[in-house]
Homo-oligomer: A and B are copies of this chain.
Amino acid sequence: MSRVFNFSAGPAALPEPVLRQCAAEMLDWHGSGMSVMEMSHRGPQFIAIAQEAEALLRELLAVPANYKVLFMQGGAIGENAIVPMNLLRGKTRIDFVDTGAWSQKSLQEAGKYGEAHVAASSAATGYDRVPPRADWQLDPDAAYVHICANETIGGVEYFFDPDVGAVPLVADMSSNLLSRPVDVSKYGLIYGGAQKNIGPSGLTIVIVRDDLIGQALPCTPSAFDYKTVADAESMYNTPPTWAIYVAGLVFRWIKDRGGLQAMEAHNRAKAAVLYDYLDATDFYRSPVQRDCRSLMNVPFHLKDKALDAAFLKGAEARGLVQLKGHRVVGGMRASIYNAMPIEGVHALVDWMQAFEREHR
Contacts and interface: CB of A to CB of B under 8 A. Distances in A.
Interface in A22-45: 22-24, 26-28, 32-35, 37-41, 43
Interface in A250-272: none
A223 B11 contact: no
Contact of A238 (B11, B33, B35): B11
A201 B112 contact: no
A260 to B, nearest CB: 22
A77 B201 contact: no
Given A26-B26, A222-B81, A242-B200, A37 B10 contact: no
Interface string A3-23: 110101111111010011011
A239 B32 CA distance: 29
Contacts of A43: 8, 322
Contact of A77 (B80, B222, B241): B222
B26 A11 contact: no
Contacts of A219: 85, 112-113, 217, 219
Of A6, A27, A221, chain B has the most CB atoms within 10 Å of the CB of A221
A1 B27 contact: yes
B109 A78 contact: no
How big is the A interface, by class?
A: 35 or more
Contact of A11 (B16, B39, B224): B39
Contact of A8 (B27, B39, B218): B39
A109 B222 contact: yes
A299 interface: no
Nearest to A194: B238
A74 B201 contact: no
A27 B33 contact: no
A78 B237 contact: yes
Contacts of A193: 238
The 3 closest A-B pairs by CB, nearest first: A202-B240, A81-B221, A4-B33
Interface of A: 1-4, 6, 8-14, 16, 19-20, 22-24, 26-28, 32-35, 37-41, 43, 73-78, 80-82, 85, 109, 112-113, 193, 195, 199-203, 217-219, 221-224, 236-243, 246, 319, 321-322
27 contacts: A2-B28, A4-B33, A6-B34, A8-B40, A9-B40, A10-B40, A11-B37, A19-B26, A19-B27, A19-B35, A26-B26, A33-B319, A37-B199, A37-B246, A40-B322, A77-B236, A78-B221, A78-B224, A80-B223, A85-B219, A112-B219, A200-B240, A201-B240, A202-B203, A202-B241, A217-B219, A242-B243
